[in-house]
Amino acid sequence: MPLYEYETINEDGSAGERFEVVQSIKAEPLAVHPQTGQPVRRVITAPYIPGDYSDTKMAATAKDDKKLDRLGFTKYVKAGDGTYEKRAGKGPRVITKE
C-alpha cells in the first residue's frame, strides 16, 4: 500500500504539521488528523526511487560516450545546420536533414 503525506491546516490557512499515513489507493483522502481531529490536506511529493539516480549522476552518464555505447544507447551530437554526428552506439555515422 502507498505511503501518503498529509499536513494539518492552521486556522489562517497556512500549512502546519506534516505526517505520513499508509493507505490503500482506493481509500478516500483523510479530511481530519487521526489523533487531533484538526483539518488536513494531502501533500503531493516526489516519489522515492532507490538507487543512484540523481540528476548529477545521470548527466555524467549521458556525457560518457563509452558507457552509453556499452549500455546499448546511440548518441548523436549536432554538428551543423540539420547535421548530426554519431558519438556512441550503432547506426549511421552522420544524419542529415536531406
Give the 3-state secondary structure of residue 55. helix
| pTM (predicted TM-score) | 0.50
Distances (CA, A) of 16 to 9, 11, 33, 39, 78: 6, 10, 11, 10, 50
Q: List, for residues 57-70, the tens digit of each pLDDT value.
A: 777 777 888 888 88
Q: Identify whether the C-beta of residue 5 lies closer than 8 Å to the C-beta of residue 19.
A: yes
Q: List, for residues 66-95, the tens digit of each pLDDT value.
A: 888 888 999 999 998 889 999 999 999 999
d(CA 73, CA 59): 14
CB atoms within 10 A of CB 81: 7
Q: List, for residues 11-47, the tens digit of each pLDDT value.
A: 999 999 999 999 999 999 999 999 999 999 999 988 7
